[in-house]
Amino acid sequence: MTTWTASADRDGCEWGNKFRVKRAFVFPGQGSQMVGMGSALAAAFAPARRLFEEVDEALSQNLSRLMFEGPESDLTLTENAQPALMAASLAVIRVLETEGGFTLARDVAFVAGHSLGEYSALAAARAVTVGDAARLLKVRGQAMQRAVPVGEGAMAALLGLDVERANALAAEAAHDEINPDEVCTVANDNAPGQVVVSGHRGAVDRAIRIARTRGTRAITLPVSAPFHSPLMVPAAEVMQQALGQVALCPPVVPLVANVSATATRDPSRIKCGLVEQVTAMVRWRESILFLKAAGVEEVFEIGAGRVLAGLVKRVDPNISARSIGMPADVEAVMKGF
């Protein structure tokens, strides 16, 4: 195990010297949702069932039934997918805590989440209550969906480009004499060779054409809004107001934030980052590099899907990465803590 000496973050938030770093928990973002997620966990563990009931009550919505049974068209709506993914992640945490003797502050060095996954990470780290996190994500999903009329925005994955070349390509795509005010910007720097652009549909379509003419694979993503772009400013304003009404405590372990790719436990910085990340790039590749530099050797993806574990391995194949979402995953991990 390596040792990382940390004095303080830029706002003076100290979390100890010679902190022995080994394990990080990361939490998935939108796109990892699937009908049936969480159902096996609820069937196997009473604490998971209670967690889903807690989220249902907070939202005055039978979200768990939608998660377990669908329909998929409703689950994939942004306002449902975001709190649903958080619920699936927090159900895993609840089982680890109540059935496995797991304690986040003792057993994990850092938490991080991809986009909405930051809310899951903060709830897991007791910076915000599960109910408040669910309500914030409901508001966030609604605000992001309403920020741009359906059909006017788009996102696309550029495969094989690094973030610098993707930034240049996005800027080229946004420069159009007929539509000079269109936006195209890098939204996610996920891993080497996997960058996502976001903006007006016309500009994103131009980015796809430019990429393909240069031999780069480009794929339109099945999303209904241009997330993590300047077009999300109205949603960021909504989230600033919503977060201002919620108490946020220092997380029990540092959060590696999307917007900075550095760790903090300072609530004011975290709130600012949650507002900023609505329009800013998700710096996931850099976040994993930060964890690596801090001595993290194991990364566990908590909740639905296996997307983040795959990205971690692409950033650094020497980091052990695994997903914990099904009962068998949970039982195997509990034996190791």
Residues tagged active-site: 115, 228
Buried b (16+ CB within 10 A) or exposed e, 238-263: bbeebbeeeebebbbbbbbbbbbbbb
DSSP label at residue 112? E
Angle at 278 between CA 120 and CA 67, to 5 degrees: 40
Residue (of 208, 203, 149) closest to 181 by Cα position = 203
Residue type, 129: T
Instruction: Count other Cβ atoms within 10 Å, centred on residue 68.
Output: 18
Distance (Å, rounded) from C-alpha 282 to C-alpha 286? 9
User: Do 221 and 194 contact (CB within 8 A), yes or no?
Assistant: no
* Antiparallel, parallel or unpaired: β 255-256 and 263-264: antiparallel
Q: Which amino acid is at 196?
A: V
Long-range contacts of 65-70 (CB under 8 A, 24+ apart): 67/35, 67/36, 67/37, 67/38, 67/39, 68/35, 68/36, 68/37, 68/38, 68/39, 68/42, 69/35, 70/35
**What is the rounded CA–CA span in Å between residue 69 and residue 35?**
6
User: Structure tokens of 143?
Assistant: 């605000």
3-state secondary structure of 85: helix
Q: Show Cβ contacts of residue 3 under 8 Å, excluding neighbours closer than 6 positions.
A: 18, 19, 20, 21, 295
